[in-house]
Amino acid sequence: MTEPAIERVLFTEEQIHARIREVAAEISAKYAGRELKLIGVLKGSIFFLTALARHISVPVRIDLLAISSFGKGAPGVVRIAKDLDDPIGGEDVLLVEDIVDTGLTTRYLLQTLSARGPRSLGLCTLLDRTIRRLIQVPIEFRCFEIPDRFVVGFGLDYKQLYRNLGYIAVLKRDS
Ligand code: IMP
């Protein structure tokens, strides 16, 4: 059963978990023999982060930050609303995003984190909508490329709803 506001399902729960396992294996191979800090961005990426972390085989630490944007008039202008709990200096850090769209938010986060002196800083995203990219960002691990439609589910929201859907879906245009 899908929600009435859903136009079509892009990725089922099974497809998402299968792909996350593959990406987690790539991450485990890359960081073999090291410890990894996963940094999630509230609230959207926490569903992806927890699913991913369960399948990573190297020791993992988790920290979270929250950002707030200045609204539609200033796209990509964001600030940190809740900072990380701990420093990241000298650590292998992987930024875990729900979606990279224009790339503006991700660029800001990568610049901010890189200024804190991690040993390495990588980027992993659940969804990649390259067609809307304004700023090139170095995505090292990604689960799915998506078309130019607004999507919800598996952490992604519309007006704070639908984050808890197990699947990822296109919302009806009139929702
Ligand atoms: P950016 O354009 O890459 O800076 O992405 C900004 C933020 O917009 C993302 O982190 C998401 O929180 C949100 N966003 C972008 N596209 C979608 C979507 O299709 N569904 C839900 N949220 C989205």
Structure confidence at residue 93 (pLDDT):
98
Point out the ligand 1 atom lying closest to the alpha carbon of residue 103: 3
Structure confidence at residue 70 (pLDDT):
74
Residues of the chain with pLDDT under 50: none
Which residue in 92, 98, 101, 128 is the catalytic one?
101
SS3 state of residue 106:
helix
Q: Is 76 in the pocket of ligand 1 (CB under 6 A)?
A: yes
Q: In angstroms, rounded to a whole number, what is the distance separating the alpha carbons of residues 163 and 61?
A: 24
- Class of residue 28 by CB neighbours under 10 A (exposed 0-12, middle 13-18, buried 19+): middle
Q: Is 101 in the pocket of ligand 1 (CB under 6 A)?
A: yes
Whether 101 is catalytic: yes
* β-strand partners of 162: none
Q: In angstroms, rounded to a whole number, what is the distance separating the alpha carbons of residues 116 and 119?
A: 10
Report pTM.
0.95
Spatial contact of 60 and 53, defined as CB atoms under 8 Å apart: yes
